[in-house]
Amino acid sequence: MSPAPLDPHPDRLFPAEPGVRDIARQLYQQIADAPIISPHGHVPAEWLADDTPFSDPTTLLLTPDHYTNRMLHAAGGVDLEDLGVPVGTELTEAQARTGFRKLCENWKVLRGTPVQFWFESEFHDVFGVKVRPSAETADQIYDQIADCLTKDEFTPRALYKRFNIEALATTDDPCSDLSAHRKLAEDPTWDGRVVPTFRPDAYLEPARAGWRDLTENLAGVTDVDIVDYRSHVEAMRTRRLFFKEQGAVSTDHSHSDAGTARLSDAQADRFFQEALRGTISPSDGDALRRHMLNDQARLACDDGLVMTLHPAVYRNHDSATLQRFGADVGGDVPHTVEFTRALQPMLDAYGNAEGFHLVVFTMDETTFSRELAPLAGWYRGMFVGAPWWFIDEADAIMRYRRAVTGYAGFSKTSGFIDDTRAYCSIPARHDVARRVDSGFLANLVAEHRLTFDEAAETAVDLVSTQPRKVFKL
């Protein structure tokens, strides 16, 4: 028996009702080929700076993609080592092939998930695969992709062009010298746009192990003598400006809650001195972190960097996996989050300030209609971020539009972000959002809530005007 074909349908993800699908198809045609704006993600800038060809399918497609890793792990029978985790592990050809086989053998467990959609799209559209992954087809697909990777059209830069990326943001440590970004900027043969993002989380957690080393490093990099709270802010200000000079448009923040309550100056400094001595308690550390986050907003009003927030994830939930593979390989789990009270101090101070932009992402979908849309429906600088991470799939994107649009409309939403380490999935991920938004808008047209011309203009706005405006790109 010949293997089942892999043949993604041109109408996939559009609503099933024929009339609505026709409208969706028309809307989608206007945006299907629009340039990709990716204002939040995790592709290493080095890939593009060095333009080294990718080594093998597994290292490229599986190792860095914790979406896939998690699902294969959960299904049983696959260990993270099989997939080349952690990033940086050198795989022999045999190991890489075996890892890739694990994906194909477990293809069924991905059914109905976005991971299936992404792989189907990238296998087919990027690498020309025409058979459905399975134990039988694993080697054939592996060989086909491995063969592609030896060609000039599949280097990081060639794919950047082919993917039609207009701007790609990375995520970077405040002390990073951004050498890859600078290398790109100085390369006359490169005309893409890869911008860094300032991610100071660890520097704003004064009660966490390692904070004092980070602070010492920060002092070294900035030449600021960090002896009190004020000098810490000054060091932050300095690095934010350095990032901005290297093209950054935003700062990114993720803590266990969204709190932004201020302390008195004296209290902040008292806590800061304890942090420097290593004696601050966890709860005082949280209080100081909330104060620091509030001050990031103040700095944002000055330097114009957009602030993005995506709190409330229990990191490294599975301690054995953390010990074995380090952070960011899978064991993170969302939990409830509260925004209305938590963001009040920051929004009250800066929410309507000229040039201040705050984009709030959530994995607690309950906050969309209850908190985020109402906040964005009042404060000028506040935008509701698109579904992200655990919920960046078709149904969740549809729920997001249904939950947010009634109160905040379209103009207070961020546009899609892919947030990915899986470079080759970027077009597929943006394509999901474009298809679902087209379907959502098509429904509004079919229900006579928008005219077609209104919907068509909105479809274009969502992939171009909005991300450019919100992220100042």
Interface positions, 371-430, toward its own copies (CB under 8 A): 371, 373-380, 382, 390-391, 393-396, 399, 402-403, 405-412
Contacts 24+ apart (CB under 8 A), 124-131: 124/6, 124/7, 124/8, 125/8, 125/427, 125/428, 126/159, 126/162, 126/424, 126/427, 129/6, 130/5, 130/6, 130/7, 131/3, 131/4, 131/5, 131/6
Q: Does 11 bind its own copies (CB under 8 A)?
A: yes
**Span of 40-48, 49-57, 260-268, 337-345 interacting with its own copies by CB under 8 A:** 337-345
CB 280 to its own copies: min, Å: 23
CB 292 to its own copies: min, Å: 22
Nearer to its own copies, 115 or 180 (CB): 115
Q: Does 20 bind its own copies (CB under 8 A)?
A: yes
Q: DSSP for 59-126?
A: HHHTTT-HHHHHHHHHHSS--GGGGTTTTT----HHHHHHHHHHHHHTGGGGTTSHHHHHHHHIIIII
**Span of 65-73, 84-92, 162-170, 207-215 interacting with its own copies by CB under 8 A:** 65-73
What 3-state DSSP class applies to 251?
A: strand
Nearest-angstrom CA–CA distance, 135 and 94? 16
Select from 433, 460, 458, 455 the least CA-distant residue to 443.
Answer: 455
* Among 30, 98, 113, 267, interactor with its own copies by CB under 8 A: 113
Nearer to its own copies, 193 or 380 (CB): 380
Q: Does 336 bind its own copies (CB under 8 A)?
A: yes
CB 197 to its own copies: min, Å: 24
Select from 164, 255, 196, 201 the least CA-distant residue to 40.
Answer: 196
Nearer to its own copies, 220 or 406 (CB): 406
CB 108 to its own copies: min, Å: 7
CB 430 to its own copies: min, Å: 17
Q: Does 452 bind its own copies (CB under 8 A)?
A: no
Nearest-angstrom CA–CA distance, 196 and 163? 19
Q: Is there a contact between 262 and 294 (Cβ–Cβ < 8 Å)? A: yes
CA torsion angle 463 468 471 472 (round to 10):
180
Q: Does 15 bind its own copies (CB under 8 A)?
A: yes
Q: How many residues bind its own copies (CB under 8 A)?
A: 93
Taking residue 423's Cβ as centre, other Cβ atoms within 10 Å add up to 26
Say which residues have a Cβ less than 8 Å from residue 111's Cβ, sequence separation at least 6. none
**Span of 8-16, 121-129, 208-216, 224-232 interacting with its own copies by CB under 8 A:** 8-16
Q: Does 320 bind its own copies (CB under 8 A)?
A: yes
Please give the structure tokens belonging to residue 55: 């080594």
Please give the structure tokens belonging to residue 441: 């808008």
Q: Does 473 bind its own copies (CB under 8 A)?
A: no
Q: Does 3 bind its own copies (CB under 8 A)?
A: no
CB 121 to its own copies: min, Å: 12
Q: Does 13 bind its own copies (CB under 8 A)?
A: yes
Q: Does 347 bind its own copies (CB under 8 A)?
A: yes
- Residue with token string 């009270």: 341
Q: Does 263 bind its own copies (CB under 8 A)?
A: no
